[in-house]
Amino acid sequence: MGLFLVESTLNENIKEQSAFEAKVEQLQTQVGKNELIEVQVASDFSRAFFIFESENEEALKGSLDTLGVPVTLTKEVRIVGQELEDAKKQKEKINYLVEWNLPENLTMDQYLERKKNNSVHYAEVPEVSFSRTYVCEDMSKCLCFYDAPDDDAVVRAREAVKAPIDSITQLSSNKK
């Protein structure tokens, strides 16, 4: 089984929490052997980020297409900073997503070592809680999830751990 990030640019039919929750419920019951691990949605409902456990990426994309979920990106990922079983429980609050397009020459081992060495600096920004990161296995990008009071606090936390930001997305309060 692989872990896959699926990004979607939501269509005009999904512009409020109840419509999004209904679509997620439909996904949970109709994606076959693919397990929906996590879903986060931008507060303006422009984009959604799904994490699935699946044996087959193409079958996963086909299932989403059948359900009318437009897929803009699919990547195999690994979770860093939290165990998968803990991520499945989703007990902590997450309200920000930081995307970082990784530099071409960075290897997974280098990334993991860098993360290990720099993560201690999150303590310098106590109002921000780091939750987890999904790193694309092809080392193209990573998605980091945080609980923070505002965008500026997220920026300070990223500066403390010496990690760039390509985009920050405020997330809805949706829970899988």
* 171 and 41 Cβ atoms separated by less than 8 Å: yes
CATH number at residue 41: 3.30.70.3090
User: According to the per-residue pLDDT averaged within each range, which of 30-34, 63-67, 150-154, 171-175 is highest?
Assistant: 150-154
Q: Could you give the C-alpha distances from 87 to 36, 39, 124, in angstroms and in order?
A: 11, 11, 24
pLDDT one-digit tens code per residue, 60-89: 888 888 888 888 999 999 999 999 888 888
Q: In what order do the strands lie in the sheet with 2-9?
A: 35-41, 47-54, 2-9, 73-80, 129-136, 141-147, 96-101, 167-170
Residue 81 lies in a domain: yes
The total of other beta-carbon atoms located within 10 Å of residue 136's CB is 19
Residue 116 lies in a domain: yes
150 part of a folded domain: yes
Q: How many domains does the chain have?
A: 1
Q: Is residue 43 part of a domain?
A: yes
Residue 137: inside a domain: yes
Q: What is the pTM of this model?
A: 0.89
Amino acid at 79: I
Q: What integer pLDDT is reported at residue 156 of this predicted model?
A: 97
Range(s) of the domain holding residue 59: 2-170
C-beta separation of 95 from 157 below 8 A = no
Q: Per DSSP, what are the bridge partners of residue 143?
A: 99, 134
| Residue 91 lies inside a defined structural domain of this protein | yes
Q: Is 176 inside any structural domain?
A: no
Does 175 fall in a domain? no
Higher pLDDT, 107 or 63: 107
